[in-house]
Structures are given as C-alpha cells and as structure tokens.
Structure 1
Amino acid sequence: MMRPTCSLFAAFAVILIGLHAGPAYAVNPDEMLSDPVLEERARDISQELRCLVCQNQSIDDSDADLARDLRILVRERLIASDTNDEVIDYIVERYGDYVLLNPPLKPETYILWISPILLALFALIAVIAFYRRKQREDGAGPKSLSDQEEKRLTEILGSSQDRS
C-alpha cells in the first residue's frame, strides 16, 4: 500500500513534468526547411501570426489547413530572400492587421484594442446595477397587508388560538 506522502510526491512529479513539457508545434516535418537558420526565422515569424481559423493560436501552434498554408507561405517568402519584416508585411497586406497576434495601434485597429476594455466596463456596470437592484429589493422591507388580507389573517390566527 502506498503511503500518502509517496502518492503526493508522484502527483507533484507529474505536474512538474507537465509544466516543463515544450509546446506542441503543429509544423509538419515536410514543411520544415533544411536550413536551420531559415527554419528558426520561420518559427519566429509564425509565432507573431494569428491563425485566422483558431483565432487565439499562432499559425505555428494550429493544425488548421489555413495555418498550414500560411506556414508554407512564410517559408516560401524566406527562401525568396525576404526579411522577416517583409514576410510579415506581405502576409498583412493579404490578410489585414487581424492576422497579427499583436496588431499595431492605429485607427483601423482601435476596435481590437478598445473592445476588451469596453467589455470589462460593461461587465462592471452590469454587476454594479445587479447589486444595487438587489440591495433596493432587500431594503424595501415587508409590504403592508391590504385590509382584506389583514382580516383573513386575523380570522386564521383567531381560529388557531381557539383550538389551543
């Protein structure tokens, strides 16, 4: 029988191994370049580009077909002797600023930058309104009874006291 400290140690070891595991790249071996310097540049660029299907993953981490096409396009541009900035500019020209995981701050992308702030602000306003309404409902106290309800209550209480 395993002692509790041993099982705790085993669980801790599994967690540590999981935390130290490297990222699972979606890059297929047939996509990789034979030149390690170019491949490293391709990986660096791919980490800056958003998968338009998955939206919150880089194209390097995504298994989507469009992400694969973009990874291949990045490698083709690098083979054509483009700089990293030229490759990124080429892809942004074709897909827009939304393809960047960190889009630039300019009038066309204000909505991308401001929407999380607006969403948080609306959520805060909703929470405050909810608690104010709840506080008003709780503070209203009991409602007074109508004359008819008071008469009926007196009858019920009177009949129950007569029995005792």
Structure 2
Amino acid sequence: MLRYFSLILALSLPLAALAVEPDEMLDDSALESRAREISKELRCVVCLNQDIDSSNAGVARDLRLLVRERLVSGDSDKEVVAFIQARYGDYVLLKPPLNEKTYVLWFAPLGMVAVAIGIVAVAMRKRRKKSVPKVLSDAEEREIKQFIDQHKSGETT
C-alpha cells in the first residue's frame, strides 16, 4: 500500500511544477520572482484552496498572465493585488482581510468548534444520566431490607 502511495505521489509532483508554463514566464528574473510571490498569495477561484501559481485551471493561467502584465506595466506588488482583489473580491486572497464582508470566513470555524463542543457536552450529559442507577422507592427498599433480614435470620438458625 505504501509503495502505491509513494508511486502516486512521485507521479503527481511534476504536475504541480507544470502550472506556470514557459510561455507565461517573464524574461526579467526579478519581475518573474515578484510575479511568483504575488501568485502564491492569490487563490484560484476554481480550485478553491490552491494558489494560482500551482493551479492548472484556465482561470489561474489568466490570473497569472494578468499579474505579469500588471508588473510589466509598472505596478507595485500591492497595486497588482489590489487590482485583482477589486475584480474578484476578497475571496481571491488566500489571506483575506478582517472586515464586515469576511467575518464569516474568519469566525465560521470558531462557530463550528463551539457547536461541536456543545454537541459533545449534550451527548455526555445524556450518557451520564443513563448510567446513574435508578433510585428505589421506599416500599422497594423496605422489601429488600426485609428479604435480607429473613435470609440472615435463616442462616443463623
């Protein structure tokens, strides 16, 4: 099993490297490295939690080309990110800013954890109540005591 997993992993690693195609790369190595850094901050809108630098989706390619186009035209890194954010919204950022529009993105995981803790607490409380022995009524206790007393007196005689 481990051998198959290793084989699959080894075969899939080159696919991630093929995301940025040679025709996309800039001749200027400084601009290309800036483009790569910016691309690692931007989310592929098709692939979800994958940056555009490692995504093979067509939209990711378009975004990579747009980043390089903006850098060649003289935009700073922040201006490039702001331009793409203006077009695609905060969702395109792998680390969205904390504001009214992104509260759900930031606090939904905390809410899910709170709900999970509540469910576990309720389940444990129900389980604890089931494991508590039932209390006998006074009549049942008298009957048991009488039964025990009869057997004790029967043993001594």
Using the size of structure 1 for normalisation, the TM-score is 0.69
Corresponding residue for 1:34? 27
1:93-108 equivalences under 5 Å are 93-108=86-101
Q: How many residues align?
A: 125
State the alpha-carbon separation in 1 of the partners of residues 15 and 107 from structure 2: 30
Look up the equivalent residue of 2:38 and give its one-letter code.
Answer: I
Percent identity, aligned pairs only?
50
Which residue in 1 is equivalent to 2:102? 109
Give the residue type in structure 2 aligned to 1:63.
Answer: N
Structure 1 unaligned runs (5+)?
A: 1-10, 142-164
Question: Following superposition of structure 1 onto structure 2, how do residues 7-156 of structure 1 map, counting pairs within 5 Å?
Answer: 24-25=16-17, 26-139=19-132
Q: Structure 2: how far apart are the matches of 1:117 and 1:126? A: 14
Give the Cα–Cα distance (whole angstroms) in 1 for the partners of residues 97 and 60 of structure 2. 21
In 1, the alpha carbon distance for the partners of 2:30 and 2:14 equals 20
Shift of residue 70 of structure 1? 0.7
Q: Which string of whole-angstrom CA distances, capped at 9 and with x for unpartnered residues, describes residues 16-69 of structure 1?
A: xx8xx9993421111111110010000010011011111111111111111111
The TM-score normalised by the length of structure 2 is 0.72
- Contact 2:42–2:92 at 8 Å: present in 1 too? yes
C-alpha displacement of 1:137: 2.1
Q: Which residue of 2 aligns with 1:148?
A: none
